[in-house]
Structure 1
Amino acid sequence: MSHWFDSLTAWLGAHPQWLGVAVLLIACTECLAVAGLVVPGTVLLFAVSVLAGGGALGLWETLVLAYCGGLAGDLLSYALGRRFHQNIRRLPLLRDHPEWLGGAERYFHRYGVASLLVGRFIGPLRPMLPMVTGMVDMPFPRFLAVSLVASAGWALAYILPGWAAGAALRLPLPEGFWTAAGVVAAALAAALALMVHASLGGARRAGPLAAGLCLVLLAALLLGWTHLDSLDRGLMTLIQEHRQPALDSAMVLITRAGDLRVQTAVGVLLCVILLLARRWGALCFAGVALLGTALANGVLKQLFARTRPDVLSEPLTTFSLPSGHSSAAFAFFLTLGVLAGRDQPPRMRLAWMLLAGLPALAIALSRVYLGVHWPTDVLAGALLAGGFCAAGLSLAQRRAPLLALGARLWWLILPLSLALLGIHAGWSLPEAIERYRAL
C-alpha cells in the first residue's frame, strides 16, 4: 500500500494537469459506499491537497472539486441504496462485514437526518450513511438538501489543511516560520488529543481538563505572541497572496456574521429562549460561555493593545488581540454544539462540536483573509471561547448532567438565529465591502 501511494503521488507531481481529476475522484471514492472504507481516501486527499497548494490548483478550485466529488459519492451511495434496498446486503464485502452496514443503520435510526450532518465527520459512517438513507427511502429532496450542506463543511475541513501546507512550502517565508508553526501545531495537537481521549473515555473531569488546557494554551500565546511574529507574517503573506476581488464580497458577508452587535443579539436570543423554557442548567452554561468570553476578550484587548496588520486602506483603530469576532463566534457556535450533543454518545458529542465549529472557523478565517487580524489573534479568540465553554459546562454539570433540549426549542433557536445572522450580514453590504478594501 505504501509503495502504491508513493507511486501515485509521484506521478501526480509529475503530471499536475491530472491533479484536478484526482481530487474529484478521490473525494468521490472517500464518500462512496463500501469503497470509502477500503481506500485510504483521507490520506490521499491530504496528499493531493498538498500538491494542489504547491501551485497546481488554486484554493477555491480545489475546494469546489472536492465538494463536487464528495457530493457525487453521496448521490451514488444514495442511488445504490434506493435501487437495491435490503438486497445490497448480499454484496460480497457487505456479506463478509455486516457490522459496516449495521453500525450505520443503528446510527441513522437513532439520530435521523442529523446523522447525515454529524456522521460526515466520522470515518466509518461517512460512506455508509447515504446508502442507508436510500435503503429506507428517505425523500430525495431532503437528502439532497442535507448533503449539500454536509459536503461543504467536509470539503473545507479535509482540504484546507493540506492545501495551506503545500502553499506554505512553495513561498519564501520569514526565518523561523516553520519552527513557530511546529511548536504551535504540536501544542494544539497534544491538547486536542488529551481532550478527545478524556471525552471518549467518559472521564468525569473532561470538562475541567478541556477548560484548563485551553486557558493554559491561551496564556502561553498571550505571553509569547511576540515570538510568533514570523508565523503571523508568513501566514498573512500566504493568505493575502491568494486574495481575489471576486471573493471579497463573500468574505465580508461571512465576517459580518461575527460583528459584536449580531453576536450580542443571537446570544441574548438564546438566553431568553432558555429562560422562558426554564432550562436553568443550559442557561447557566450559555451565560458563562457567552458573557464570560465577551468580558474577558474586552479586558485582554486593552491589556495587550496589539496593533492590527497594515492591510486595509483605512486601518481599524481598535486593538486586535484576541479577535473579538473569533471569540464571539466560537463561543456562540460551540455553545450550540454542546447543547446539541447532550444525552448522546461521546463520539456523537465530539462530531457535533466539530460541526458547530465550522461556521465559527469560517468567520475567524475571514478576519485573516481581510487583513484585520493576525492568525494568532483568531487562535487566541478560539482558545478563549473554548476555555469558557468548557468551564461553563463544568459549572452547569457540577450536580447533575446537562439535559438535551427538545426539538421544539431547536425549531425556535436555529431559524431565529440564522435570520438574525443573515439579515445583519447582508445589511449595507456595499459599504461594508468598501470598508474592508485592501491597500
Structure 2
Amino acid sequence: MTQWFDQVTTWLGANPEWLGLAIFLIACIECLAVAGILVPGVALLFAVGVMAGSGALELWETLLLAYTGGLLGDLISYGIGRRFHQNIRRLPVLRNHPEWINGAESYFQRYGVASLLVGRYIGPLRPMLPMVAGMLDMPFPRFIAVSMLAAAGWAVAYLVPGWATGAALRLPLPEGFWGEAGVVMVVVLGMLAVIAHNTLREKRWANPMAAALCLAALAAMLVGWPHLQALDQGLMALVQEQRNGSLDRLMVLVTRLGDFTTQLLAGALLATLLLVARQWRAACFAAGTLIATALANTALKHFFARARPDILAEPLGSFSFPSGHSSAAFAFFLVLGILAGRGQPGRLRLTWLLLAALPAVAIALSRVYLGVHWPTDIVAGGLLAGGIAAASLALMQRAAPLEAMPPKVWVLVLPACLALLGGVATWALPEALARYSY
C-alpha cells in the first residue's frame, strides 16, 4: 500500500494537469461505500492538497472539486443501499466483514440524521453511512440536504490543512512561523479534545472544565500574542494572496453577519422570543452569555489597544484584539447550539455545537480575509465566547439541568433570527463593499 501511495503521488507531482481530476476522484472514492475503508483517502487528500496549494490550484477550486467528489460518493453509496436494501449484506466484501455495515447501521439507527454529520469525520463510518441511509429508506430530499451540508464541512476540514501547507511551503514565510503555528494548534486541538472527551463521557464537571480550558487558553494568548507575530504575518500573507473581486463580495456579506448592529438586534430578538415563549432560564442564559461576552471583549480590546493590519484603503477605527466580530458570532451561535442540544446525549450535543460553530468560523475567517483582524484576534474572540458560554451554562445548571425547548419554540426562534441576520447583513451592501476595499 505504501509503494502504491508513493507511485500515485509521484505521478501526480510529475503530471499536475491531472491534479484537479485526482482530487475529485479521491474525494469520491473516500466517501464511496466499502472503497472508502480500503483506500487511504485521508493521506491522499492531504498529499494532493499540498500539491494544489503549491500553486497548481486556487483554494476555492480545490474545495469545490473535493466537495463535488465527496457528494457524488455519497449519492452513489445511497443509491446502492436504496437499490439492494438488505441484500447488500450478501456482497463478497461485506459478507466477509459484516462488522462494517453492522456498526454503521447501529450508529445510524441510534443517531439518525446527526449520524451523517458526525460520522462524516469517523473513518470507518464515513463511506458506510450513506449506503445504510439508502438501505433503511431515508427520504432522498432529507438525505441530500444533510449530505450537502456535511460534505461542505468535510471538504474544508480535509483539504484546507494540506492546501495551506503547500501554500506555506511555497511562500517566503517569517522565521518562526512553523513553531508558533505548531504551538497554537497543539493548544487549541488539545483543549477541544479534552472538552469532547468529557462531554462524551457525560462528566459532571464537563462545562466548568470547558470554561476553565477556554479561559486559560485565552489568558495564554493574551500574554503571548506579541510573540506570535510570525504566525500572524505568515497567515495574513497566505490569505491575502487569495483575494479576488468575486470572493470579496461574499466575504463582505458574511462579515456583516457579525457586525455590532446585526448581532445586537439578533441577540435582542432571541432573548425576546424566548421570553415570549416562557423559556425563562433559556432567555437568562442567552442574554447573560451575549452581554457578558460583549462587555469582556470591549474591555480587553481597549486594554490591549492592538492596531489593526494595515491593508484596507481606509483603515477601520477602534482596536483589533480580541475580534469583536469573532466573539459576538461565536457567542450567538454557540448559544443556539447549546440550547439545541439540551436533553440529548453527548454525541448529539457535540454535533449541534459543531453545526453552530460553522457560521461563526466563517464570520471569523472573513475578518482575516478582509484584512481587518489578525488571525490571533479571531482565535482569542472564539476562546472568549466559548469560555463565557460554558461558564454561563455551568451557572445555570447548578441546581437543575437546563431543559430542552419544545419544537414549537424552535419554529418561532430559528426562522426569525436567521431572517433578521440575513436582512440586516444584505442591507446597504454596496456601501459595505466600498468600506472593505483595499
Question: Shorter chain as normaliser: what TM range?
Answer: over 0.9
**Structure 2 residue aligned with 1:416:** 416
The offset of 1:205, in angstroms, is 1.4
Contact 2:29/2:36, CA 8 A, preserved across alignment: yes
Q: 1:80 aligned to 2:80?
A: yes
Contact 1:281/1:397, CA 8 A, preserved across alignment: no
Partner Cα separation in structure 2 for residue 14 and residue 230 of structure 1: 32
User: Alpha-carbon deviations, 1:274-319, whole Å to 9, x = none?
Assistant: 3233334433432332221111111111111111111111110111
Partner Cα separation in structure 2 for residue 413 and residue 40 of structure 1: 43
Letter in 1 for 2:328: A
User: Alpha-carbon deviations, 1:124-157, whole Å to 9, x = none?
Assistant: 4332232233223333333323322222222122
Q: In structure 2, do the counterparts of structure 1 residues 266 and 112 end up closer, same or farther at CA, with 3 Å as the change threshold? A: farther
Contact 2:80/2:131, CA 8 A, preserved across alignment: yes
**Structure 2 residue aligned with 1:60:** 60
**Equivalent position SS for 1:432:** helix
Aligned residue runs from structure 1 range 107-126, under 5 A? 107-126=107-126
User: Alpha-carbon deviations, 1:111-133, whole Å to 9, x = none?
Assistant: 44444334433444332232233
Contact 2:266/2:420, CA 8 A, preserved across alignment: yes
**Structure 1 residue aligned with 2:298:** 298
Q: In structure 2, do the counterparts of structure 1 residues 75 and 186 end up closer, same or farther at CA, with 3 Å as the change threshold? A: same
Aligned residue runs from structure 1 range 26-425, under 5 A? 26-425=26-425
The offset of 1:394, in angstroms, is 1.3
User: Alpha-carbon deviations, 1:155-211, whole Å to 9, x = none?
Assistant: 122222221121111110112212211221222222222222222332221211111
The offset of 1:110, in angstroms, is 4.5
RMSD value, Cα = 1.9
**Equivalent position SS for 2:175:** coil
Contact 1:29/1:35, CA 8 A, preserved across alignment: yes
Aligned length: 438
Letter in 2 for 1:276: V
Q: In structure 2, do the counterparts of structure 1 residues 277 and 166 end up closer, same or farther at CA, with 3 Å as the change threshold? A: same
Q: In structure 2, do the counterparts of structure 1 residues 41 and 284 end up closer, same or farther at CA, with 3 Å as the change threshold? A: farther
Partner Cα separation in structure 2 for residue 413 and residue 104 of structure 1: 33
Contact 1:30/1:36, CA 8 A, preserved across alignment: yes
Partner Cα separation in structure 2 for residue 47 and residue 345 of structure 1: 36
Letter in 1 for 2:155: A
Partner Cα separation in structure 2 for residue 393 and residue 43 of structure 1: 38
**Equivalent position SS for 1:195:** helix
Letter in 1 for 2:58: G
Q: In structure 2, do the counterparts of structure 1 residues 129 and 178 end up closer, same or farther at CA, with 3 Å as the change threshold? A: same
User: Alpha-carbon deviations, 1:44-85, whole Å to 9, x = none?
Assistant: 222221221111111010000001001101110111112112
Contact 1:119/1:351, CA 8 A, preserved across alignment: no
Letter in 1 for 2:23: V
Partner Cα separation in structure 1 for residue 134 and residue 305 of structure 2: 55
**Equivalent position SS for 2:70:** helix
User: Alpha-carbon deviations, 1:340-367, whole Å to 9, x = none?
Assistant: 2233332332232222211111111110
Q: In structure 2, do the counterparts of structure 1 residues 114 and 184 end up closer, same or farther at CA, with 3 Å as the change threshold? A: closer
Which moved further from structure 2: 154-163 or 274-283? 274-283
The offset of 1:245, in angstroms, is 1.3
Which moved further from structure 2: 123-132 or 349-358? 123-132
Which moved further from structure 2: 408-417 or 385-394? 408-417
Letter in 1 for 2:41: G
Contact 1:32/1:127, CA 8 A, preserved across alignment: yes
Q: In structure 2, do the counterparts of structure 1 residues 56 and 73 end up closer, same or farther at CA, with 3 Å as the change threshold? A: same
User: Alpha-carbon deviations, 1:331-387, whole Å to 9, x = none?
Assistant: 111222222223333233223222221111111111000001011110110110111
Contact 1:333/1:357, CA 8 A, preserved across alignment: yes
TM-score (norm 2): 0.94
Contact 2:274/2:413, CA 8 A, preserved across alignment: no
Letter in 2 for 1:304: F
Contact 1:52/1:58, CA 8 A, preserved across alignment: yes
Structure 1 unpaired stretches of 5+: none
Partner Cα separation in structure 1 for residue 109 and residue 187 of structure 2: 38
Partner Cα separation in structure 1 for residue 110 and residue 266 of structure 2: 29
**Structure 2 residue aligned with 1:15:** 15
Structure 2 unpaired stretches of 5+: none
Q: In structure 2, do the counterparts of structure 1 residues 198 and 302 end up closer, same or farther at CA, with 3 Å as the change threshold? A: same
The offset of 1:87, in angstroms, is 1.3
Which moved further from structure 2: 274-283 or 168-177? 274-283
Partner Cα separation in structure 2 for residue 102 and residue 345 of structure 1: 21
**Equivalent position SS for 1:267:** helix
Partner Cα separation in structure 1 for residue 398 and residue 372 of structure 2: 39
**Equivalent position SS for 1:308:** coil
Partner Cα separation in structure 1 for residue 123 and residue 268 of structure 2: 36
**Equivalent position SS for 2:228:** helix
